[in-house]
Structure 1
Amino acid sequence: MTAKDPLHGVTLQAILTALVERLGWDGLAQHVDVRCFKHEPSIKSSLTFLRKTPWARAKVEQLYLQQLRQQK
């Protein structure tokens, strides 16, 4: 990662928390179709899943970047 990377210094927990605040769990599940966002979602269980599942983490990070661009 470089200093120009918009994710530099942003934790996965911060990304997930921001997305849940903006989209809610239902909205997040619509964008990233994984069980941990649909059935009894929590930050802790979702972080555990995302840390073990690179493709899902990549989708969450891309969604976060997309949301940042839309805010500007």
Structure 2
Amino acid sequence: MIGLALLVLAWIERHWALLAYTLAFLAIGMVQGNRIIHSSSPWFFLPYLLVPAAVLLLGAGAFALFRPSAEARA
């Protein structure tokens, strides 16, 4: 659902970097979603939560770091 929301945001904002980031995020989700795990560990789901969370945090940090300044937007 987050990936679809990011796609809509990229389309509304017409932001090509956000579109590229969203497609990479969706690709990671598709790769992780196609794995079948046979594990007896109660923590087997943890990588499936932490990898997308890390990608979202890194992407948010990168977009915050490289956003245009207030002077450039005015």
Q: TM-score, normalised by structure 1?
A: 0.37
Computing the radius of gyration from Cα coordinates, the structure with the larger value is: 2
Greater RCO (CA < 8 Å, at least 6 residues apart): 1
